[in-house]
Amino acid sequence: MNLRTCLLTKNQCYKAAVRIQPMGIMVHSTGANNPYLKRYVQPDDGLLGKNPNGNHWNQPYPDGKKVCVHAFIGKLENGAIATYQTLPWTYRGWHSGAGRNGSANNMGYLGFEICEDSLADRTYFNKVYQEAVELSAYLCGLYHLDPRRDGVVLCHAEGAQRGIASNHGDVLHWFPKHGKSMDDFRADVAAQLREEDQLDMTIEEMIQKMTPEQAYRLSQKAQLHSKDLPEPAWSRKEGHWQRATQAGLVDGTAPERAMRRDEVIAVLGRKGLV
């Protein structure tokens, strides 16, 4: 999986910052013949390419609608396939709409869009399908979700059938053209998750053989994904982080990143406690 981050901070959904506990995954596809991520994800990070039309989703109501997903899968400017996280995983998205039984948005479903092409390119389909499998397995592992359980991994069309999403047909209009069903997808996610569990065991064994310096460098890399997450709404409301920053106890960056022991000691030292 080629996972990158470009949070849509100008989207009203991001600004609302409504917290969820992820309970499931909903797979969408864009419904437009444009496989390039730059159509939806901006600003350009040097890989996406620029969107000259201004119709991306990093604005309050893209295309005049309340829409936002947690990630997009599609092509970079150079044609390589990538996934871009566009909302924090614990933020409620605006991706499912609602049905007779409510909205998957409010039920903790993480939603991602696969950028469609003409729907006829088998090579492109296979690449984005595998990327979607790996993203779903990653999220299932992160939030301890079992893709084999009923209702955990759905597409938008299945959500509509269950009455928790609006009446869309994605991705059942596309996957079968290339011999795949959502049952296949769920099975592939489960298989990928089993492979990653085995990989985790191998990494665990490898860590045991590391020197302290090597383990430290690995831990720093593992924290990179959280460095860009904003201060959550509950913390902003209490104001502690702002006061700590103004007092010089912390530098005001990366509020969601874990603290190291030396950083804890530094903060205590600035308070004169050590």
115, 128 contact by CB (below 8 A):
yes
CA separation for the pair 111, 203 (Å, rounded)? 29
pLDDT digits (tens, 9 = 90+) for 75-117: 999 999 999 999 999 999 999 999 999 999 999 999 999 999 9
Residue 206, pLDDT score: 66
Q: What percent of the chain has pLDDT over 70?
A: 90
CA gap 49, 79 in Å, rounded: 11
Q: Amino acid letter at 213?
A: E
Confirm if 13 and 87 have CB atoms less than 8 A apart: yes
Q: What is the pLDDT of residue 254?
A: 76
Kindly state the average pLDDT of the residues 171-192. Answer: 97
Per-residue pLDDT reduced to its tens digit, 114-167: 999 999 999 999 999 999 999 999 999 999 999 999 999 999 999 999 999 999
Condensed to tens digits (0 to 9), the pLDDT of residues 236-272 reads 767 777 888 888 878 878 787 777 778 888 777 777 7
Buried b (16+ CB within 10 A) or exposed e, 183-196: eebbebbbebbeeb
Q: Is 0.85 topped by the overall pTM?
A: no
